[in-house]
Chain A
Amino acid sequence: MKVALFIPCYVDQFYPQVGIATLELLTKLGVEVTYPLQQTCCGQPMANSGFAHLTPNCDSLFIKNFSDFDYIVCPSGSCTLHIKEHLHDEIRPDEALSIRKKIYELTEFLTDILKVKNLTASFPHKVGLHQSCHGQRGLHLSQMTELTAPPFSKPERLLRMVDGLQLIELDRKDECCGFGGTFCVTEEAVSVKMGKDRITDHTKHEAEFITGGDMSCLMHLEGILRRQHSHVRVKHIAEILNAQ
């Protein structure tokens, strides 16, 4: 099984520990992972701002980097979803299509492909899980509260395998945090208010850590937490699943 690691650009630059945790976790589970060195970004920031027509170069680069692998694993639901929904290439349409099918967000790769039943991780803290919208509603990593359908949650299942971890309940299980890509700066007022309200839901239920599958949402929440001088910290789910 040839597995490539796709580390989103902002994780590479600002949160290398998330990439490291992802790599270590997968290695621990017996997967040999390669990180193609020429990778940059999925193109989502442009596309979501209405500039999808500018992304062909970014797309071809992505295909060049990743088409040789059986699986591509990415510790971000949002970037994974973008590739799944929007990657295309005029010259190599089939390769683009096959990449769309073999890219996996980290937690779904763990539950659906590796079928992980237990983990050797320990994280003795009260943790709140932030369901990032793209992972949840886009990739269907968890059931959505709007639907009349049986509940499930892939990230939650994994977190429950971690020793000592206490998952807190939230009032609003899957409300958006307000990051939203460029939304976080173009609609600053609403974005920050949404983030504050998410944080309140977690702190009200005594979370010590807020975790999730998308570092972008967590970066936004962290920015607000630090401005509030809060003791609550954010941690990507890979870091918790890899914690000793």
Chain B
Amino acid sequence: MSSREKTLEALKKNQPDQVELPAITSYEQSEKDNVLQFKNTLLFIGGQAIEVNGYGDMITYIKEHFGEAKRILSTIEALHPVAEIKAHYPDPHSLEDVGLTIVNAQFGVAENGAVWITDDLLPARALPFITEFLAVVLEKKTIVPTMQEAYDRIGISDYGFGVFIAGPSKTSDIEQSLVLGAHGPKGMTIFLI
């Protein structure tokens, strides 16, 4: 008997009687202003949100803050004055020297400051991790209150890879001291439009 059969057989024999799935309800949140909560939470987890009026504002901001960056990458056509625009990088190892990446997110989550990004928005899955700094363009009106509404929104949509990103990469492994930029980005900026 294969391990598959062995395991399944043992499970069938040992699992308890059927227990029903609970109904999952949404809970009303005390903070009604999703955008405000999103901004505050993001700050708390080491990121920052900047309200912008359009791509012009973003370009100015990028020039001002990331003028020194070795390589700036984006998938957003309108950012071409400051970024290299490409839809696909077949070899992610070539992204090692990227200083800043700017991508779109599908939506944001107010309770935890996370944004949802699927691989159709990424020129390479590795990019939001390997880049030294990450910036994300997020439409304010897409922000949902909690992860429960987030998954309602994702529904049964298809993707190869999807990720919630909440702030910069971090670790507290050494004596619980928080350090930003463990393996991934050292900072995360969200452009709210």
- Check whether chain A touches chain B (CB < 8 angstroms): no
Binding site for A on B (CB under 8 A): none
